[in-house]
Structure 1
Amino acid sequence: MTHPLINPADPPDRQRQKLLQIVDVLMRRVEQETDDGGRAYQQFQRAVLLEDEVRERTRELERALDLLNATNARLAEATAEAEAARQNLASAIETVQEGFALFDAEDRLVMCNSRFGMHMSDLRDHLVPGLTFARFVELASRSAFLELPPGESAESWAVGRMRRHADRHVMFNVQTVGDRWLQVSEHRTQDGGTVILQTDVTDIIRLERQERGKLLDDQARMIRATLEHISQGVGIFDAQARLVGWNGRLGALLAVPAGRFRIGVSFDTLSEALGAQFSLNDGMTLERIAAWVHGSRPRSALTFELRGGAEIVLAVLAEEMPDGGFVMSFSDITAERRALRDIAEANETLERRVVGRTAELAEALGRAEQANAARARFVAAASHDLLQPLSAAKLFLASLTDVGLSPEAQATLAKAENALLSVEGILDALLDISKLESGRASVDVGPVPVGQILARLADEFAPLAAAKGLRLTVRPSNATVTSDPTYLRRILQNLIGNAIRYTERGRVLVGARPSGGGLRIEVADTGPGIPEAEQANVFREFHRLNARASASEGMGLGLAIVERAATLLGHPLTLRSAPGRGTRFTLTLPRAVADYPVGSPLPDIPDDGALNPDGRIVCLVENDPDMRRALCHLLEKWRLEVIDLETGEEALSLLDEIGILPDRFLIDHDLGDGIDGLALLSQLRDRYGPVSARLLTAVRSQALEAVCAAAGVTILRKPVDAAALAAFVLGAD
């Protein structure tokens, strides 16, 4: 076994010295002898390489020593800092006014200050690091300074204390000798340890006692004053049936000598005095009352009456108190009994008067029913009379669409048409809302072009939004849904109006988007939002979330009407909102196919009269002169030949006379005193066979719709829509 010339364990200086010696020897040998194979030179080369390697190893060892020295220095600094931090922590908890203790995750004491356990001086010697929490509780439970609650042993107290220790946060009071109190607050740390704080709350508890005593004294005075001011006589008895309190009214009612009323007198003594002056009502005896007073608890309330002489009647109510005592109240009901007698005597007189009055009421009821029927007829007539001129105005405006008006006049005309449409919707809503509230609402469900309704609402609300500095965006839509146009417009009108009313800055967005097989119409705003607790209340009548809204801006009925109308139509309505993030209402409707294209304009009227090459004739039967003139004006503008008549009788007579059957019939349903529109259509069919006709009416009635459906008659509602009218009179058979 060969030994290395250089021992790696030697210090760098020793290794360097050996290398220098080796080099010196080799050099001498090279100088003294010649080696033919060059071995001496090779050894020299190896010595040089070995010296370089030793030099590199020396540098590495020096760097390692420097790193080790730096690490040792930092470790010493960290140890000093940790010790300083521990000293600071110990000093800090020592300055805390409360007792402080820290237990680790294994429930062993880590450290505590001198105030911890100061009210139990017999624990001080045991409070050393490593003490278990269970041992600490055991020592505390057996401390001579601990005042255990009545009926509790040291063992049960320790069990309860350990049960509380299982909670993450605990706070309770502990009483020690000398009427001193500690508030113990225990909290779990993130690493599973426990921090305990002990606060002396003796002064606070004593002050609370004083305040409670004062409060009880004040309450006693208030109760006493209250008893003296009530009209009933009140007697308070303890669990042994001894008198402990009463008011002056009791003595006045019972006429018992003042000497009988004193603290501690038994109820039996007072009962004897009562039996001498009063009689009891039927079925009640003094023995039964005594049995209730001295009977087992709990006792149900006891009521009876005392009668003194021929006039005085006292109602007595006895009720048990939580402490086993009872209270008796005595009320003077003499006046009530006297009134009952007077009422009984008056009953006979009243019965005779009721017979006569019943006859009068029957007559009045008949008059009221007649008045109610008249009111119903008036409402129906008023609705018809209001919609007639409105329909005429719409038709007159429709006839002006192609008379060469300037763009500004055309725009104004369009705004006027939209305004009339809004008035129409409002009138319809006013007539239907009462039915909606009473549950008698009728709906006219059919294809509804969403784009038309949204465009009208955009024109209606654009000025209001601009006045508030809001950006109102109503996205167009070519969708058609199945709904009632009146109620759908009313729903969207209320939602958009509410959004503008309660939004102070930002924008209001209205748009429709497909959703499965239906259509979702959303009204979103950047307003203050609705708290979650208020989101159900906003649909209640007369409930306004923003109290700053004035009565002129609404009475809080809008969303109530929206919810009921949506429920009536079966359109789901949802609300999403958060304070400060705006509100979004979503109404989901079923899709439908439109009867005519959404937003389709009226047919263009050529100047050469080619619109009516076959000389189509329209027979118009309308008893309202303004409506008749408006319809004639529009039909003649479309190059149609019009026969306008006022009554059904005139129509039948004229058709028999001229012997020509018109191509289209427009017949008002309410034609005055003569035959109505349905009867006229029936006679026309009997004479001439099937005719192309529309029944004009402003009446929204399920009964009328059912009759028309059974007779195969199509209704064209007033106010008459010009596009629908054109589709009928100008369309193919």
Structure 2
Amino acid sequence: MIDPNEAYEIQIAKQAKIIEALVNRAERGHEVGGTAYSLFESAIALQAEVWEKTKDLEKALDTLDRASSELEVAYQTQERIQRNLADAMVAMEDGFALFSEERLQACNAQFRQLLPDVEPLIKPGLGFDDYLAAVNASKYLNRDENGVSGRPHPVAKEQGSGQRFSSFVMVLRNDRWFQISYRQTSSGNITVLQTEITDIVRENRREKNRLIDQQSHLLQAAFDHMSLGICTFSSRGELLVRNERFGELLGVPLSLLKKRSPFQRIVEHVERHEILDREGRRSRVSGWFKAVRRGEAVQERFRRRDGMGLDIRIHSLPDDGFIVSIMDVTAETEASALLEQRVQERTAELTEANRLLQIHADEQTKIEAALRHAKEAAEAAHTSKTRFLAAASHDLLQPINAAKLYLSMLTDRMGQPGVEEVVSRLKRSFTSIESLLQALLDISRLDSSGAEFNVTSFNLGSLLQGVAEDLAPLATERAIELRIVPSTRWVSSDQRYLMRCVQNLVVNAIQYTERGRVLVGCRLKGDAVRIEVWDTGVGISEEDRARIFKEFTRASGAAKGPGMGLGLSIVERACRHLGHPIGLASQPGRGSVFSIEVPLAPPGRASVSEEPRMEPMLEGSLDLIVMIVENDADELHAMTQVLESWGASVLAAGSTADAAALMQEIGTAPDILLVDYQLNDDDNGIETIRTLRALAGAEIPAIIISANRQRQFLQLCTEMSFAVLTKPVQLVRLRALIDWKTRARVA
């Protein structure tokens, strides 16, 4: 009769009606009559029911009171939460809005005032999709050329809990940037947050422009220090970057070499004023731009009016632009012309000699004499060529040394993805160039009639240990086991050339061994020591053994290695001059063994000028004052940067006079001198060391950088107690040598 789920007021009313009906029934029963017992029984039952209903009624009233109290507390809590939410929304710097059931429930003023044309629509009850549509249609958005302002309607993503979230960037017309993000809460509501990121975007823009400007300065500085004339053009043929050398070689006015000057105008000026001797090449010059646009490389040689020879090359760039390089080839052209003239003269002489031989048999003796004279002239020309090659190789070591120093610094400083591989490839390329130049320099020295050797007595064990340390990385890279058997024998030879010979044999063995090992050891043979290099490589056939020691020669059937085929040629020349017999035994497919016999020498003490055994690059700061004297600006700058990166304080000078003035200015002597041997004019590193030591009144530790290996020079090195470091400089050896020289002074 009474539904317990109904309101308490309704239940109480129904109970009151039931009680009233029962009372009326009891009264009617008494009026009708009945026994006293039945009336008593009815009264008792009625009273029990009344008590029970009264208890239920009291319980219901108590429950109603508790529910009313809890409801009042809930109302107060809700009001407090709403006030806190309103206060928090007002205090927020960002725009904030709450959508309940896809309808706007509450927002702050920042959210409402972001877009003036959307502000009238932002009222409670606004649909979430309608809000996004209004933002997308706002006229205050900064749209691109296609009328798109970004992604104001991003596709919502799903979180792990199945809730939506998204974020996009909105750009206003006044260069203000906002990040709009919304997230669906666990209760199904959507919160929208408008965050201004204008300062972040502008700072990123400024940083980007700063980096671009910095890279432009570095690129321009690199261009300005190049001996080539360099100029880059855009895909539309407009000038971008050039160096002064470009204008000097091409002879074009500076007004035509301004930024964005058209390439065609420069070509037209060259043609109109006939700056270059074209020799019928007008059509090719005028078609350069079209050829570059087709992706073709252009290379032409011209001669200026003043006789200077120019080599002009044009190559495409990845951005559809192109780069133009101009090189002065006057000396090369004149040398070629002179050589051609000499060849023509010799050819004419030989032709005349042959004619006379056919006509006059009795003059055969005279003709043979003329041929001998021609041979002597050819040998003299070969000797001249050797001297030229030696000088050119030495001069080329200067920029290679500076480039290797800059590559080492770049390896330490750059950490972007991909940059380390590029630097590694550049370093391997410079190492290959260095090896080739060093090989050519060695051959030119060994072929010259006045070749000098510094024959001394030394411990063979230190030489073999040096070979092991230098070539262990190459063996590891090739997955070849390199084993050096130690030796305590003393031998008599030129330590530098003997070490170079052993290194060449070991490198040759590693390169022609696909798997297995290379073993280096020594055997006694009478009063000599035979240094043997064993390998398990491809071996050498009988027909190849007669020519394997010639220049640019490799074993037949072997894969082409990274070298140029000069290593064994240097070994043969050096050992022939030193009187060291060379041995070779090989079996194709199983391996080879090369040997060098060196005279024994009585044990003695190591030379005081002998360099210390090089160890891996030392750690820690180089807390020293180092004075560098170097006439080459690039190498001076590179060496300064390297030493400063090690923690040293560097005093840089370009000559002996500058170094002396600098030392007098600071009023103290440096901890060590690092001096180039060949300076400008008559200045040299030995005079620098003498002058600075005399000025300081003390024997300052010194290291001189030179490729000079003459006996007189090395003897002077020992007498003056300075170390010699050859170019290109190996940074590991330089650091160890500086540490050794300064520690020896402290001790």
TM-score, normalized by length of structure 2? 0.39
Give the greater-gyration-radius structure (CA). 1
TM-score, normalized by length of structure 1? 0.40
